[in-house]
Amino acid sequence: MPDAAAPARIARPDGWQILKRNRAAIIALGFLTGLSVIAIVVPMLLPDELKITSSASFVPPLQHSAEDHTLHVLGTDVNGQDMLYRLLSGARVSLGVGLVGALISLVIGTLYGMISGYAGGRVDGFMMRTVEVLQSVPRILFIMILIAALDDYVKGWIDGWRLLAQKNNWSGTAENMSSLKAYSKVLVMIVSLGLVEWLTMARIVRGQVLVLREMTFVTASKAMGQGSWGVLRRHLLPNLSTVILTYLTLTIPAVILDESFLSFLGLGIEDPAASWGSLLKDGAQVINPLESKWWLLVFPALLMSASLLALNFLGDGLRDAFDPKSGE
Amino acid sequence: MLPFLLRRVFSSVIVIFCVISITFVLARITPGGPFDTDKVVSDQVMKAKLARYHLDGSTWTQYTAYVSAIAQFDLGVSTKYRDWRVSELLRQKLPNSFVLGALAFVIASGAGVLFGSLAAMRKDSWIDRTAMFGALLSISIPSFISGPFLIAIFALWLGWLPVGGWGTVSQMILPALCLAAPYVAYVARLMRNSLLDVLKSDFLRTARAKGLTETQAVARHAAKVAILPVITFLGPLAAHLLTGSMIVESVFNISGAGMIFVNSIQNRDVFVLCGAVIVYCALLVLFNLAVDVIYTLLDKRIRLYA
């Protein structure tokens, strides 16, 4: 039952304090930090023979391969590569694409939203209509078209550099370029996802700017001769930071989902690079009633779901702490 | 009402036009053409092939040719599947996606509203906590994870349901559940938050004071108001579900519209791609319009303007 005699409004405690008391969000933050450190450090420590393909395909978890008797903690895949290594390098790619893609969308969305909200009037109307049109476009489709368009350019560009390096005998550069080519799809994915995912951020930031620009400190700053750009940077941006942080945390899982979605369909990350989506694709292809190779499906599924769950918990916690009115 | 509808239809046509333009131009400036194969073809043959589909000349002339064809309700022909008109292709693939999407939509909206209401009416109880944790879990398990697991458990291990395919009711259960699961969660969270707000309002206190039980008060008075934000979400959701989910269709081996998107991009089949985008956008604006109309029926205070 709602309390009819509640006091008018008590000052809310500081957002960071609310967040600290949210145990689920703190656990999630710890999990994500731990996972990131493991994904970066552990693949460097693993012995090299685990990283290459071998003839020992489909070794079950915790068993030694028949050929060279190396222990595979999580088993091996169809190419005889160690699943633990694949899983962790997949985590690097998925988390990396999620973070960088979300950061790109954050920069675009924040700038767009700030300009639109601060300019107001016709400019605002036009900019927001544009966002509405873009929102009625099937998002995943546009990412696919962008990826198809950018992929050839980036591959050609990397090839050009490689040839240039070979001609001039730059030691190492040519090799770096050929290994970079394997990861060119990662680069393409980051850019394409970042270019598409900024719409929500732009709308949220614009809404906040509409409120903030009517505040007296903004009027005071303008009266003292501060230019528009200075007001945006010095006064509005600091006040927007927590909202931006919140929606960054909620954009990361969205970008990770899109990346995995495309990789699962075979349009995203390609071998030899791996991501959670491409690992799940490999895992889903081998389920059959006769011989279950469950480790190819279960481990990527568990790690990906746990990470998404943690990101969502953290995002919800941040939203409850800093943006309590928005609800959903 | 009528001027509103007319204005909305007009603005919808503009939106669809913008989206088609972006799609067509992007698809045509993308490297690689519809007839690029491993075989080396002479320039003349290639030119003749492109000319047959009005895909020669500058991007601008191609674009104007396409738009004038669209204006005459001609969606063109597929460049990949010989002699298939885009409209025939869509007519063949869309019904499966529509049935699957409609099933998932019913599950998502029904179960979502139910769970969300239960959670809000018993706020902070174990029901609320379980439902909200389940919702977050379901959002964190995308269909390309839940799909293979549903198949492994219910089709391969227990043997209750078929692995894939489309046509019988038993073949529809797993894909519909798989497609609906994350949206059940979104709807439930929306419904819970919205109902929690409404439960605090004065007219509900009056309803309780005149002796209605909590369930009666929610069913007769609160639900009607609380469902408004949910309906806003259901509009785009319906368009999204009806045009098919690529993942669910590929996991369960269903021949539907989702795969049209994927294949047409990979085959550079520009007319098929644009045709599918037109259907998607048309459904989207249609359902958004329906949402606005339903709004006025539920809440008499809202006046339509556009």
Q: What is the pTM of this model?
A: 0.82
Predicted local distance difference test score (pLDDT) of residue A7: 44
pLDDT digits (tens, 9 = 90+) for A206-215: 888 888 888 8
Find out whether A79 and A40 touch, Cβ atoms under 8 Å.
no
The answer to whether the Cβ–Cβ distance between A145 and B30 falls below 8 Å is: yes
Token pair, residue A321, equals: 């702490």
Return the residue of B nearest to A289 by Cα.
B156
Predicted local distance difference test score (pLDDT) of residue A327: 45
- Between B69 and A107, the more confident residue is A107
* Amino acid, single-letter form, for residue B49: K
Which residues of chain A have a CB within 8 Å of the CB of B151?
Answer: 287
pLDDT at B165 over 60: yes
- Euclidean distance between CA atoms B220 and B207, whole angstroms: 9
pLDDT digits (tens, 9 = 90+) for A222-237: 888 888 888 888 888 8
The B residues from 241 to 270 touching A (CB cutoff 8 Å) are 243, 246-247, 250-251, 261-262, 265-266
Task: Nearest by CB to A257, from B29, B142, B266: name it.
Answer: B142
Backbone angles phi, psi at A215, to 5 degrees: -70, 155
The answer to whether the Cβ–Cβ distance between B144 and A264 falls below 8 Å is: yes
Mean of per-residue pLDDT scores for chain A:
81
For chain B, strand residue ranges (E) read none
| Stretch A270-294: mean pLDDT | 79
Q: Name the pLDDT band for B115 (thresholds 50, 70, 90).
A: very high
Ramachandran area for residue B212 (φ above 0: left; ψ -120 to 50: alpha; else beta): beta
pLDDT digits (tens, 9 = 90+) for B118-129: 898 888 889 888
Which residues of chain B have a CB within 8 Å of the CB of A138?
Answer: 240, 243, 261, 277, 280-281
Taking the Cβ of residue B199 and every Cβ of chain A, the question of whether any pair is shorter than 8 Å is answered with yes
Predicted local distance difference test score (pLDDT) of residue A231: 83
Predicted local distance difference test score (pLDDT) of residue B221: 80
pLDDT digits (tens, 9 = 90+) for B268-282: 888 888 888 888 888
Q: How far is A170 from chain B (nearest CA, A)?
A: 30
Sign of CA dihedral A258, A263, A268, A270: positive
Q: A72 by DSSP, 3-state: which?
A: strand
Which residues of chain A have a CB within 8 Å of the CB of B251?
Answer: 284
- Between A5 and A217, the more confident residue is A217
Q: In chain B, what are the domain boundaries?
A: 2-71, 90-266
ipTM for this prediction: 0.78
Task: Nearest by CB to A136, from B19, B145, B265: name it.
Answer: B19
Q: Name the pLDDT band for A69 (thresholds 50, 70, 90).
A: low
Q: Which residues contact A131 (CB under 8 A, 6 or more apart)?
A: A112, A199, A202, A203
The residue among B291, B292, B302 whose CA lies nearest residue B235 is B291
- The rounded percent of chain B whose pLDDT value lies above 70 is 96
- Euclidean distance between CA atoms B237 and A30, whole angstroms: 34
Sign of CA dihedral B52, B53, B58, B60: positive
Identify the residue whose tokens are 């994870």: B145
* Choices 3.60.10.10, 1.10.3720.10, 3.60.110.10, 3.40.50.970: CATH for B90-266: 1.10.3720.10
List, in sequence order, every residue forming a beta bridge with B132; answer none if it has no partner: none
Predicted local distance difference test score (pLDDT) of residue A6: 45
- Euclidean distance between CA atoms A99 and A197, whole angstroms: 12
The answer to whether the Cβ–Cβ distance between A301 and B145 falls below 8 Å is: yes
Mean of per-residue pLDDT scores for chain B:
82
pLDDT at B80 over 90: no
Taking the Cβ of residue B237 and every Cβ of chain A, the question of whether any pair is shorter than 8 Å is answered with no
Sign of CA dihedral A252, B236, A148, B165: positive
Token pair, residue A319, equals: 């939203």
The residue among A231, A16, A204, A52 whose CA lies nearest residue A128 is A204
Find out whether B101 and B155 touch, Cβ atoms under 8 Å.
no
pLDDT digits (tens, 9 = 90+) for A176-185: 777 777 678 8
pLDDT at A158 over 50: yes
The answer to whether the Cβ–Cβ distance between B281 and A257 falls below 8 Å is: no
Taking the Cβ of residue A267 and every Cβ of chain B, the question of whether any pair is shorter than 8 Å is answered with yes
Backbone angles phi, psi at B50, to 5 degrees: -65, -40
Set out the domains of chain A in order of their start, with CATH numbers: 15-45+71-322 (1.10.3720.10)
- Euclidean distance between CA atoms B202 and B199, whole angstroms: 8
Alpha carbon distance, N-terminus to C-terminus of chain A? 22
Q: Which residues contact B66 (CB under 8 A, 6 or more apart)?
A: B24, B54, B76, B271, B274
Predicted local distance difference test score (pLDDT) of residue A8: 44
Q: Name the pLDDT band for A5 (thresholds 50, 70, 90).
A: very low
Predicted local distance difference test score (pLDDT) of residue A68: 66
- Between A146 and A5, the more confident residue is A146
pLDDT at A44 over 90: no
- The rounded percent of chain A whose pLDDT value lies above 70 is 85
Sign of CA dihedral A262, A266, A269, A274: positive
| Stretch B248-258: mean pLDDT | 84
Q: Name the pLDDT band for A290 (thresholds 50, 70, 90).
A: low
Q: Name the pLDDT band for A4 (thresholds 50, 70, 90).
A: very low
Which residues of chain A have a CB within 8 Å of the CB of B19?
Answer: 133, 136-137
List, in sequence order, every residue forming a beta bridge with A82; answer none if it has no partner: A76
**Of A68-77, B62-71, B273-282, the least confident:** A68-77
Predicted local distance difference test score (pLDDT) of residue B301: 63
Predicted local distance difference test score (pLDDT) of residue A109: 92
Predicted local distance difference test score (pLDDT) of residue B300: 65
Predicted local distance difference test score (pLDDT) of residue A3: 46
Predicted local distance difference test score (pLDDT) of residue B10: 85
